[in-house]
């Protein structure tokens, strides 16, 4: 499911960056960014559509400010501010992934339209 989610993100817009995509990592977590789309904006938009996501790395959960993990990875501050974390649970389904991707496509299309204007 994580691979389907990440492939769908990359297919939705080439600007998406998936952190650690070619590294050993947890199978149920994706951390990605869409440059220029602030994490706070995305978290609220996802929430309004019934999709729960978080911002930043799991190691920065509950903190306000830049993640020390992303900083140690050499991620630029502007990209770190756009980081969105998706965690999959034991009951996550393919339909949940599709709902997430549909919401992301709509959100990124609205964002790209505003940025172009």
Active site residue 59: yes
Which tokens is 17 given?
A: 């960056």
- Which one is catalytic: 48, 58, 59, 72? 59
Laid out side by side, the sheet with 29-33 consists of 17-18, 29-33, 83-87, 54-55
Report how far residue 70's alpha carbon sits from residue 83's, in angstroms, rounded to the nearest whole number.
Answer: 9
Pairing of strands 54-55, 29-33: unpaired
Catalytically active residues, by annotation: 59
């Amino acid at each position: 499911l994580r691979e389907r989610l990440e492939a769908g993100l990359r297919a939705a817009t080439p600007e998406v960056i998936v952190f650690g995509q070619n590294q050993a990592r947890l199978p149920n977590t994706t951390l990605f960014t869409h440059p220029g789309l602030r994490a706070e904006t995305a978290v609220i938009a996802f929430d309004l559509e019934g999709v729960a996501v978080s911002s930043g790395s799991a190691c920065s959960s509950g903190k306000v400010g830049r993640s020390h993990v992303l900083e140690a990875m050499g991620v630029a501050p502007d990209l770190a501010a756009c980081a969105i974390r998706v965690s999959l649970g034991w009951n996550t389904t393919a339909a949940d992934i599709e709902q997430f991707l549909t919401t992301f496509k709509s959100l990124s299309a609205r964002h790209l339209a505003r940025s172009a204007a």
